[in-house]
Structure formats: structure tokens, C-alpha cells
Amino acid sequence: MSTFTTRLALPRRTFLRGMGSMLALPLLDAMVPALVAAEKTAAKPVKRLGYLFMPMGADMTRWTPAGGDKLDEMSFILESLAPLKDRVSIVSNLEVRNAYPGTHATSNASFLSCARAKHTESTDYFLGTTVDQMAAQQLGRETQLPSLELAMDMMQTVGQCDNGYACVYQNNLSWSSPTTPLPAEAHPRIVFEMLFGEGGDKAQRQAALRKRASLLDFVKDDISRLQRELGAADRERVGHYLESVRDVERRIQRAERGVAENPLPDLDRPTGVPASYAEHARLMFDLQLLAMQGDVTRVTTFQLARETSNRTYPETGVSDPHHPLSHHGNDPEKIARMAKINRFHVSLFAEFLQKLRATPEAGGTLLDNSLFLYGSGMGNPNVHDHVNLPIIVAGGAAGGMKGGRHIRYKEPTPLANLHLTLLDKAGVRLEKFQDSTGKVDGLFEPLGI
């Protein structure tokens, strides 16, 4: 059991413990001395970074906002972000030169590494350490998980996947070294166990967590004791967090029970996940929210679909598989249908940002204390280019992000510049990252931190 003292001296790293489970608490007022709480939280720089990968580029004619340097009007694809305009900026004409000669594999591999993938079909693959792992080396020192790597698809393909490139490049966004890819997890149950399981190997954690109906059942004594120690605002915050945990767990259980009801599963989709792509994605987004809220990790990556994915998205009214549709041959009707898929992916990201903004944290919200990069390593998928990438930056008010901006470079500019900028705002200082030539101006107000 955790030990609670007075509500003015609750340790920041406080856990509720039960058999085989461990529930980290969100940041509470009781974790910061009352007289300095406002001062400390207000001065805290952005310390969370999230990266979201959208495969196969976008229809840039329906992506790029009209107008000047301000996001006065959102484009068709970005329309769902309109209510979050003050927390979102678009950066146009970024490129990844090291992704050429132009493939799906290098689009995925270079998005966070900006490195040139060694052309090989075997196990002698070589890329570069990705920015999320550079962030995790510093931001992950005090968290249960240094980073969290998530996906929506099964990543079991091996051998050669694309133009002589090993499948490892297409399967993995995150690399902790040039020779060490980090597999992403697509099954919500396994992610839940990673976040809230305690001790033992994977099989032992799974067995312990499945012995009871709910994680919260095992920590209910600690919850009751904790709630008596907290003030009204903290009780409300903890209550909201616990209900979110229970809701996610119920949805996972419901998806697992529904396996028998889905006679035609998507071969790229793990069994035991929601049949609907949108519900699966929302569940994975909510798991990221809980991971950040409980400070289980401060660095996340999420692959919304793999390159060359043949998924269909019936929610959009488009029946075509994504990958063939991306090779549209400049057919206006095909481009319009591809744009609907792009719009759908962005809308799920927008829902996630809305939830982050609605989640209070001492001194602001989760969105205030986070930065997210959403985009693709490919621009125009019809020609497999890696210039004028679709890129969104969101969050970060506490880190001085201005929001509502559209930064347009006249000449192609390294995506590495943006990576370097976001690392710097998270407190990770590098002189250079791959082919970077500087930092991105105009995204942030200067802060004295």
C-alpha cells in the first residue's frame, strides 16, 4: 500500500498499488506546497512530446490553408482543428532529403530519424536514433516507461517490403540506436497492462491483471484513503482520472468479448480490438492520455497506419483501400477520396487534442504542458516525394507556443529543423540533428526558462 501523510506533502511519484497492479496519480495540488504551487507549475517548461505518423502523405491542395501567416481559415482536411486554432500551427515546405530515392519504407523510417536508411533486405539494417528516443533519454529518467510506442496495425511482416528495403524500416517509427528498432504495440489490452501492471514478466503481469474484474477493484482501499487526504479540487481531479481509467478498461473488455461477433477480421488488425478503426484509434489515444496524465511516460509515438496499408475506412464513405487510392494518377475523383481519408485521420487527432485541453493539470491543462507533431514523411504519394510534407504542431501554451500560425518556407527546409526546435522546447538541447540547418522561427514566444 502507498503511504499518505498530509495533503500538503503528497509525493509527486505516488502510486496506488494492488495485487499485480500499480496506478500512478496525476499531478495534484497536494503534490506541490500550497504557497509555491502556482509559481512552480507556471514556470514549468513543456516536458511531454508526442509524435503521430500519418501514412502516404496527403492531398496538399486540400491540406494547405489559404491566406497568409495566420490560420484565419482551415482547409478541408484540417477543418476539425478549427476549435483548437489557438493551439495549432501548420508548417509548410519541410522536406526529408535522406528519404530519397523515394519509397514508402523511407517515408516511415525517416519521419523521426531524418536519416538515410541503409538499402538492404536483410538484418544488417542501419538508420539512426529517432528524436523521440533522444527525448526519452532525458525526459524518461523519472518515469515508469521512458517512452511509449503505439500503432494500429500488426507489424509482423519480415524480409523485403518495399523496393529492396527491409520491412523493419516500414514497421518501426522509433529507433533507440541506428541498429535498434523499437516495435510498436497495437493491442489496447497489452498497452493497458504495460501502463498499470506491476512486477514480473509479461505473462505474470497479464495473469495478475486478468484475475480481477477491474484494476480499480484492487486499489479501492488506497483510493478511499487517498480521497480523505485531498482537498476538493484534487478529489475531483482524481475522480475524473479514475473514471477515465475504468472507462478505457471497460471498452477493452467489450472489444475482447466482441471477437466472436466479427467473422471477417481485418488481417492487419490484432484480434480482440474494436472492429471499428475509429473506436480502436480512440482507445489508443485515450491510453496515451492516461499515460501522460499519470506521468507514466512523457514521450509517445503513434503510427495511425502503416505505409502501403490497404485499410479501408467505411466511416469516411470511401470504399477504396488507402494505398491504391494514394496512387491516384492525378485523377480528381481519386484525389478527392484520398483527401477524405486524410481528413478522417486529422479529425481523430483533433478529438484527442480536445480531450487533452479538457483535462486539468495544476497550472493549466495537459495540452498546455505537451507538444505534438503530426504528419507524414511523404508529400505527394502519387510520385513518392518527400518535400512539402503535411505537418501540424499542436499544444504547448506553457512552453510559449503561439498557435494560429502558418509558417511557409519559400524554399524546401529540413524537417530536422522542426525536430530540433521541439526538442529544445522540451528541454533537450542539441546543436544539430541530422541535416538540420537551424531552428524554426515563429512557432514560440521567448520564455525566461
Q: What is the pTM of this model?
A: 0.87
User: According to DSSP H, which parts of 197-231 are helical?
Assistant: 202-209, 215-218, 220-229
Minimal CA–CA distance to 291: which of 196, 419, 165?
196
Nearest Cα to Cα of residue 440 among 58, 93, 57, 79: 93
Cα distance between the two ends of the chain: 37
**Which helix H or strand E contains 280, and what residues bound it?**
helix 277-293
Question: Radius of gyration of the chain from Cα atoms?
Answer: 22
- Looking at residue 229, its pLDDT comes to 74
DSSP conformation class of 142: G
Single out the residue of 241, 51, 54, 215 nearest to residue 148, CA to CA. 51
CB-based contact 148:140 (threshold 8 Å): no
The strand pair at 370-375 and 48-53 is best described as: parallel
d(CA 133, CA 111) in angstroms, rounded, equals 13
Among 238, 224, 231, 223, smallest CA distance to 6 is for: 231
Q: Which three cell numbers stand for residue 289?
A: 492520455
Copy the grid coordinates of residue 395.
Answer: 499544444
CA distance 130 to 207: 34
Q: Which helix (H) or strand (E) holds 213?
A: none
C-alpha cell at position 144? 515508469
In this predicted structure, what is the pLDDT of residue 2?
Answer: 41
Residue corresponding to grid cell 529507433: 175
Which residue from 9, 60, 13 is spatially nearest to 388, judged by alpha carbons? 60
Q: Write down all domains in the chain, each with its CATH number in brackets.
A: 44-186+273-425 (3.40.720.10)
Residue 286 is predicted with a pLDDT of 96
**pLDDT < 50 stretches in the chain:** 1-8, 34-35, 37-43, 45, 262-267, 448-449
The x, y and z cell numbers of residue 353, run together, are 487534442
Strand partners, 391: 375
Do 56 and 102 form a contact (C-beta atoms < 8 A)?
no
Take residue 401 and report the three cell numbers written for it.
507556443
H/E stretch holding 438 reads: none
Going by their DSSP bridges, the two strands 360-361 and 160-162 should be labelled as unpaired
- How many separate helices (H) and strands (E) can be counted in the chain? 14, 15
C-alpha–C-alpha distance, residues 187 and 390, integer Å = 27
C-alpha cell at 93: 515546405
Reduced 3-state DSSP string for 370-405:
EEEEEECCCCCCCCCCCCCCCEEEEECHHHCECCCE
Q: Taking the alpha carbons of 224, 229, 235, 238 in that order, is the dihedral positive or negative?
A: negative
pLDDT at 203: 62
